[in-house]
């Protein structure tokens, strides 16, 4: 009777197995936990996405700022290069004019120098011959004066130098040609001296030899003075010419050097301008794309924020509904659940086997461990509950203490769980450290790999675009060349047709004019053909119409030829400009594409190195995950479960000890009451 009353009190306080109401409450709690977990995951995901939005927006803002700065810089570069090109073209034109002027001056100076040299050579030759002749005449005269005879008497009888020279010719001591030249020289010299001094002619010979010799020696000295003066003048002229030539040559050399430098600078500026223009187009496009991307990113991020707020609000409403339902169930169904499920949790067989209140406490401990095993889903606790139940059933029949056996089983399980917890904690610290370092390195290498891949893709795209543009330009050049050849042929055919047709028209006009002249003269002179004059007038009228038509046709033909020639000339010039420009574009774009391909090769080498290192890190991380993560459950869950198991076992042990003592005390009081009743 006492055991049955204790069992009833125990069964009414707490069911051995969970009732449907308890399962519903448990399911609601699990759902609340799930919703809260989903909220945390959603919050984490949103935080990561918001951080990504902020980073992406910052990155795009920086790229846009950089793009605008690059566009401004490229525009400034283009303007600067354009200004430099204009300056260099002006400088080249100025230098070219200076070089032409210096070359013309040098040629003129050289021509003058050659004429002066020629004049000096002739003068030097003449003066040298005169001096030689005077010296020879003086020597001969001195020798003849020393002799006696008819020649001496004739010389003394001569009244002038001219007479003396004639005597010397007659004496065969001087040639007639030399005498003539000396006579002319003496006369010229005398005339020059008389005109300069205002005196009469002084060619009179006084009749003694000293006068002749002195005169000849004076002439010789004067001729030598003239020769010396001419030579000094020639030397001065040569020196002046050399200085002028050196100066002009230096100016031309320096101007040519400046010209080469200016042309090189012009080519570099043109190349720089073309490159800057190409970069400006590419940078402007990238800037527009980044601006559009940033605008789209802002809209996407705002939409995600609104969706997150709606989802958060929805989860809050769901949690409120679950909490309300749970509260209503707990408050409203306690009595009904107790009445419906309280005593049905223990089978009739189990109730029949319960012989004392101590057995009830042992059964409560087994139930507690079994519930704990079901909640934590622990096979070890389920096995412990089974062993505890077996110990309860078999302990008494074997003469052993079931209470000590059950208590020992719980104590051993607690010790085992605590030992496993310590081992897991040590491994967790090692795994956390290695996983953190490996993950950080993987993230860094992944970011570097993505960065290199992006650069490679960008440069490949830019190179492909340039190559496509080069191919397009080459096709355009080929088409232009073909069109130019066709235009040349058409122009040649038009010109040939014009020359042929214009010649025929001119011939026809001349023929009509001649026919008109003949008919007009004929009908004007011969009045006897009056009867035919009307027909003649008609013919003349028709010929005049033909002349007018032919002339008009020739005029139109000539105008069309001139227009066609002008259009062809304009087309040829524009085609030459376009061909040159496109050729330069092909050259620069090919060069730039080659540079991009080289950069892609270098970046690909870097990417291969980073990829190899990343593969090694990922392999190591996979091994760590296999050791640290790839288990039935993560460490945090395992730790929480184990702590829950240990706490539950300790609570079961405490329940086993306290409830047993309480039941024993209650049993004593009950027995006393029964005895007193009896």
What pLDDT does 107 receive?
92
Q: Mean pLDDT in the chain?
A: 75
Residues 6+ apart with CB under 8 A from 401: 395
Spatial CA neighbour of 286 closest among 7, 436, 68, 32: 68
Residue 64 has pLDDT above 50, yes or no: yes
What pLDDT does 78 receive?
92
> How many angstroms separate the first and last alpha carbons of the chain?
14
| Mean pLDDT computed over 277-294 | 89
What pLDDT does 340 receive?
46
Q: How confident is the model at residue 632 (pLDDT cuts 50, 70, 90)?
A: very low
CB-side exposure of 515: number of CA atoms within 13 Å? 17
Of 150-164, 268-282, 485-499, the range with the lowest mean pLDDT is 150-164
Q: Which residues of 429-467 are buried (b: 16+ CB within 10 A; e: fewer)?
A: eebeebbeebeebbeebeebbeebeeebeebbebbeebb
Alpha carbons 213 and 215: distance in angstroms, whole number = 5
* Under 8 Å between Cβ of 35 and 316: no
Residue 181 has pLDDT above 70, yes or no: no
- The two domains 23-103+262-332 and 446-625 share their CATH topology (first three levels equal): yes
Q: Which residues of 261-275 are buried (b: 16+ CB within 10 A; e: fewer)?
A: ebeebbeebbebbbb
What pLDDT does 256 receive?
92
Task: With residue 71 as reference, give the H or E element that holds it.
Answer: helix 20-145
Residue 650: how many other CB atoms lie within 10 Å: 13
Residue with the larger pLDDT of the pair 567 and 149: 567
Residue 311 has pLDDT above 90, yes or no: no
What pLDDT does 675 receive?
41
What pLDDT does 475 receive?
92
Residue 173 has pLDDT above 70, yes or no: no
Residue 203 has pLDDT above 60, yes or no: no
Spatial CA neighbour of 32 closest among 327, 313, 318: 318
Spatial CA neighbour of 568 closest among 484, 480, 481, 482: 484
DSSP string spanning 253-298? HHHHHHHHHHHHHHHHHHHHHHHHHHHHHHHHHHHHHHHHHHHHHH
DSSP string spanning 484-516? HHHHHHHHHHHHHHHHHHHHHHHHHHHHHHHHH
* Percentage of the chain exceeding pLDDT 70: 67
Backbone φ and ψ of 231, nearest 5° = -65, -40
Residue with tokens 């940078």: 283
Residue 281 has pLDDT above 60, yes or no: yes
Residue 284 has pLDDT above 70, yes or no: yes
Alpha carbons 184 and 527: distance in angstroms, whole number = 86
Check whether domain 446-625 has CATH 1.10.287, yes or no: yes
Q: And the tokens for 434?
A: 């290695």
Residues 6+ apart with CB under 8 A from 275: 588, 592
Residue 583 has pLDDT above 60, yes or no: yes
Spatial CA neighbour of 214 closest among 137, 150, 147, 148: 137
Q: In this structure, which topology does domain 23-103+262-332 adopt according to CATH? A: Helix Hairpins (1.10.287)
Q: How confident is the model at residue 133 (pLDDT cuts 50, 70, 90)?
A: confident
Alpha carbons 478 and 419: distance in angstroms, whole number = 85
Cut 0.85: pTM above it: no
Q: Is 1 helix (H, G, I), strand (E, B) or coil?
A: coil
Q: Is 204 helix (H, G, I), strand (E, B) or coil?
A: strand
What would the pLDDT profile of 71-104 be if each residue is shown by its tens digit?
Answer: 998 999 999 989 999 998 998 999 999 999 999 9
Backbone φ and ψ of 347, nearest 5° = -70, 160
Alpha carbons 436 and 423: distance in angstroms, whole number = 20
Alpha carbons 581 and 322: distance in angstroms, whole number = 77
Alpha carbons 166 and 159: distance in angstroms, whole number = 11
Residue with the larger pLDDT of the pair 412 and 450: 450
What pLDDT does 525 receive?
63
Alpha carbons 515 and 433: distance in angstroms, whole number = 119
Alpha carbons 25 and 15: distance in angstroms, whole number = 15
Q: How confident is the model at residue 645 (pLDDT cuts 50, 70, 90)?
A: confident
Q: Is 160 helix (H, G, I), strand (E, B) or coil?
A: strand
Domain boundaries, the chain: 2-15+348-442+632-677, 23-103+262-332, 105-252, 446-625
* Phi/psi-derived region of residue 149, left when phi > 0, alpha when psi is between -120 and 50, beta in every other case: left
**What residues pair up with 204 in beta bridges, in sequence order?**
160
What would the pLDDT profile of 105-118 be if each residue is shown by its tens digit?
Answer: 999 999 999 999 99
Q: And the tokens for 453?
A: 């891949």
Alpha carbons 565 and 569: distance in angstroms, whole number = 6
Backbone φ and ψ of 587, nearest 5° = -60, -50
**What residues pair up with 160 in beta bridges, in sequence order?**
204
What would the pLDDT profile of 458-473 be if each residue is shown by its tens digit?
Answer: 888 988 998 898 999 8
Residue 302: how many other CB atoms lie within 10 Å: 11
Residue 145 has pLDDT above 90, yes or no: no
Spatial CA neighbour of 642 closest among 476, 357, 467, 424: 424
Residue with the larger pLDDT of the pair 339 and 475: 475
* Under 8 Å between Cβ of 344 and 646: no
Q: What is the maximal distance between C-alpha atoms in the chain?
A: 220
Residues 6+ apart with CB under 8 A from 206: none
Residues 6+ apart with CB under 8 A from 460: 596, 600
Spatial CA neighbour of 185 closest among 215, 206, 227: 215
| Mean pLDDT computed over 472-479 | 91
Spatial CA neighbour of 649 closest among 378, 458, 399, 446: 378
Residues 6+ apart with CB under 8 A from 356: 3, 6, 663, 667
What pLDDT does 424 receive?
64
| Mean pLDDT computed over 160-168 | 64
What would the pLDDT profile of 328-369 be if each residue is shown by its tens digit?
Answer: 666 665 555 454 444 444 433 344 344 444 555 556 667 777
Q: How confident is the model at residue 662 (pLDDT cuts 50, 70, 90)?
A: very low
């Amino acid at each position: 009777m006492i055991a049955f009353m204790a069992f009833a009190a125990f069964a009414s306080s707490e069911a051995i197995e969970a009732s449907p109401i308890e399962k519903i409450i448990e399911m609601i709690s699990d759902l609340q936990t799930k919703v809260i977990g989903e909220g945390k995951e959603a919050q984490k995901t949103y935080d990561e996405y918001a951080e990504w939005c902020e980073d992406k927006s910052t990155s795009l803002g920086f790229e846009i700022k950089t793009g605008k700065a690059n566009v401004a810089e490229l525009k400034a570069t283009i303007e600067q290069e354009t200004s430099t090109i204009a300056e260099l073209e002006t400088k080249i034109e100025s230098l070219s004019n200076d070089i032409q002027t210096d070359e013309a001056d040098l040629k003129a100076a050289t021509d003058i120098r050659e004429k002066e040299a020629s004049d000096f050579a002739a003068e030097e030759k003449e003066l040298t011959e005169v001096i030689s002749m005077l010296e020879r005449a003086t020597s001969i005269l001195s020798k003849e004066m020393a002799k006696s005879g008819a020649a001496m008497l004739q010389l003394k009888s001569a009244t002038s130098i001219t007479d003396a020279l004639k005597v010397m010719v007659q004496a065969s001591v001087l040639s007639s040609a030399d005498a003539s030249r000396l006579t002319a020289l003496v006369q010229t010299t005398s005339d020059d001296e008389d005109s300069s001094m205002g005196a009469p002619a002084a060619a009179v010979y006084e009749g003694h030899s000293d006068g002749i010799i002195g005169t000849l020696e004076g002439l010789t000295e004067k001729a030598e003075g003239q020769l010396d003066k001419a030579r000094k003048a020639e030397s001065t002229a040569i020196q002046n010419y050399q200085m002028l030539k050196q100066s002009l040559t230096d100016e031309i050399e320096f101007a040519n050097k400046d010209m080469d430098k200016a042309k090189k600078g012009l080519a570099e500026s043109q190349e720089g301008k073309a490159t800057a223009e190409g970069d400006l187009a590419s940078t402007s496009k990238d800037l527009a794309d980044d601006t559009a991307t940033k605008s789209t990113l802002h809209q996407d991020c705002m939409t995600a924020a609104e969706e997150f707020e709606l989802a958060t609000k929805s989860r809050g409403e769901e949690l409120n509904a679950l909490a309300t339902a749970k509260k209503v169930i707990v408050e409203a169904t306690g009595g009904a659940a107790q009445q419906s499920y309280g005593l049905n949790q223990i089978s009739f067989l189990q109730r029949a086997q319960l012989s004392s209140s101590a057995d009830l406490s042992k059964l409560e401990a087994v139930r507690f461990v079994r519930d704990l095993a079901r909640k934590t889903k622990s096979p070890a606790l389920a096995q412990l509950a089974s062993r505890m139940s077996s110990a309860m059933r078999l302990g008494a029949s074997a003469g052993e203490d079931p209470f000590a056996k059950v208590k020992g089983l719980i104590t051993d399980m607690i010790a085992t769980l605590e030992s496993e917890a310590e081992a897991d904690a040590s491994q967790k610290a090692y795994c956390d450290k290695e996983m953190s370092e490996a993950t950080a390195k993987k993230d860094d290498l992944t970011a570097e790999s993505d960065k290199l891949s992006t650069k490679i893709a960008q440069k490949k795209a830019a190179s492909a675009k340039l190559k496509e543009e080069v191919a397009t330009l080459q096709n355009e050049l080929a088409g232009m060349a073909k069109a130019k050849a066709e235009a040349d042929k058409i122009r040649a055919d038009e010109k040939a047709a014009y020359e042929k047709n214009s010649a025929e028209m001119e011939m026809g006009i001349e023929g009509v004019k001649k026919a008109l002249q003949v008919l007009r003269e004929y009908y004007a002179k011969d009045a006897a053909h009056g009867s035919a004059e009307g027909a003649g007038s008609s013919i003349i009228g028709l010929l005049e119409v033909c002349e007018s038509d032919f002339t008009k046709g020739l005029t139109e033909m000539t105008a069309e030829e001139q227009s066609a020639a002008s259009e062809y000339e304009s087309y040829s010039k524009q085609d030459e400009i376009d061909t040159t420009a496109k050729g330069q574009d092909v050259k620069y774009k090919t060069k730039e594409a080659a540079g991009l391909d080289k950069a892609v090769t270098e970046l690909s080498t870097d990417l291969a190195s980073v990829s190899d290192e990343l593969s090694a890190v990922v392999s190591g991380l996979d091994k760590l995950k296999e050791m640290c993560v790839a288990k039935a459950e993560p460490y945090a869950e395992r730790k929480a479960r184990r702590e829950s198991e240990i706490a539950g076992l300790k609570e079961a042990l405490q329940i086993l000890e306290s409830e047993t003592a309480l039941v024993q005390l209650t049993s004593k009081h009950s027995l006393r009451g029964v005895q007193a009743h009896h």
